[in-house]
A = this chain, B = another copy of it.
């Protein structure tokens, strides 16, 4: 079976949210699945010296216009969260705890988290908010809250973030197709082409 498309993202990245509208469908067209991998981009940005987009003069203004515009084109609900960006530690840990049990459920949780944050503009930084969202995909709230402090779950998130950095991930979303890197939701057309042609 052909390898999955790897989809690295930070839950705090609006461009990752935009990518969620298309990434699975793009891969499915080529009979591929997508492996979702939340990471803490802040840890990587310390190394690259990058700052959050929103803080950069001119670029921040552009992003504030560009993201809702792209969401309209995709017919994706969008609302700037009151708290932006946010540290997606609890959300990412919850994802990996779920992922260890049921990958489909983990992906549903990720979609629900993105929707709550960028679709409804809710604050999803607190463990309670994350557990609440996880409960909507069938997880037990108390178990999720306990999992957020689980050493193995913490370690998994660190390992995945380190692995992403080692593979060259510096932004979100970031895709790999059979090892080939593509950065940005606006490169999904290239991901699609690469999958179709097997390279060029």
Measured CB to CB, the residues of A under 8 A from B are: 44, 47-51, 56-59, 61-62, 65-66, 69, 72-73, 165, 168-171, 181, 183-184, 186-187, 189-190, 193, 200
Contact = CB atoms under 8 A, between A and B. Distances in A.
Contact of A200 (B72, B170, B186): B72
13 contacts: A48-B58, A48-B59, A50-B59, A57-B170, A58-B165, A58-B170, A59-B170, A62-B170, A66-B181, A69-B200, A184-B186, A186-B186, A189-B189
Nearest to A51: B49
A49 B50 CA distance: 10
Chain A contact residues: over half helix, strand or loop, or mixed?
helix
B49 A58 contact: no
A56 B49 contact: yes
Nearest to A48: B57
A165 B57 CA distance: 10
A176 to B, nearest CB: 12
Nearest to A171: B59
A73 B58 CA distance: 30
| Count of chain copies | 2
A50 B57 CA distance: 10
B62 A181 contact: yes
A59 B47 CA distance: 11
Contacts of A49: 51, 56-57
Contact of A73 (B44, B50, B59, B193): B193
A58 B168 CA distance: 5
B65 A56 contact: no
Given A73-B193, A187-B186, A200-B73, A168 B48 contact: no
Contact of A62 (B62, B168, B189): B168
Nearest to A169: B58
A61 B171 CA distance: 13
